[in-house]
Amino acid sequence: MLIEKRELLDQAGISRALKRIAHEIVERNAAVGEVVLVGIRTAGVPLAERLAAFIADAGEVEAKVGAIDITLYRDDVFEGLPKPEVGTTTLPGNAAAGKTIILVDDVLYTGRTIRAALDALMDFGRPRAVQLAVLVDRGHRELPIQPDYVGLKVETTRQQSVKVILDGRDRAVLREKP
């Protein structure tokens, strides 16, 4: 069992971080006029929805929301037990071709999830551009993948884990073995 070591972000902190990311997205994509925020199941989906609301508040950029399930694209699908649950993928118009896609996830760690998400996305067509937004970047990349928008960058060890909890009392916590 993992125990909570310290709180990285509280409710206000998460909200501030998402607002800042929303502004950065608007700044960088204002000329495009339209982006699709695609949350990676499961934790990325509510974050994508919140980012879309902040972007809508700022005006200028129209943000649609989608969700992507990466289970069938994982490189370890037959290594873990039991077999992973497969979720649904929903993209606006069921297509990625020609769009600016912003992948949204809660924690960026090895980068393998993002690799799988990129592969899944490409099966929906050739996007105009893909960017990556994460709430927490905890380091330890195993693939050459870097985020475009980061809420919080934090030093961790491999034995620790970072958990983002969005249950009304939102927080991001660093956990480790006792």
Partner 1 sequence: MKHLLGIEGLSVAEITKILDLADTFAEINTRPIKKVPTLRGKTVINLFLEASTRTRTSFEIAAKRLSADAVNISGSTSSTTKGETLLDTAKNLQAMAPDVIVLRHSSSGAPHFIAKHVDAAVINAGDGTHEHPTQALLDAATIRKHKGKVAGLTVAIVGDIAHSRVARSDILALTKLGAHVRVAGPRTMLPVGIEEMGATVFERVEPAVEGADVVMMLRIQLERLGGAGLFPNTREYSRYFGLGPRLAATLKPDAIVMHPGPINRGVELDPAVADGARSVILDQVAYGVAVRMALLYLCGGGASSAAAEA
> Which residues lie near partner 1 (CB under 8 A)?
69, 72-73, 77-83, 86-89, 94-95, 97, 119-120, 123-125
Q: Which is nearer to partner 1, 124 or 149 (CB)?
A: 124
The closest of 117, 159, 153, 112 to 136, measured between CA atoms, is: 153
DSSP 79: T
Shortest reach from residue 65's CB to partner 1, in Å:
17
Helix (H) or strand (E) holding 50: helix 44-58
Shortest reach from residue 81's CB to partner 1, in Å:
6
Q: Which is nearer to partner 1, 59 or 82 (CB)?
A: 82
Across the chain, how many H-helices and E-strands are there? 3, 8
The closest of 64, 18, 68, 71 to 39, measured between CA atoms, is: 68
DSSP 105: E
Shortest reach from residue 74's CB to partner 1, in Å:
8
Q: Which is nearer to partner 1, 27 or 123 (CB)?
A: 123
Q: Which is nearer to partner 1, 79 or 167 (CB)?
A: 79
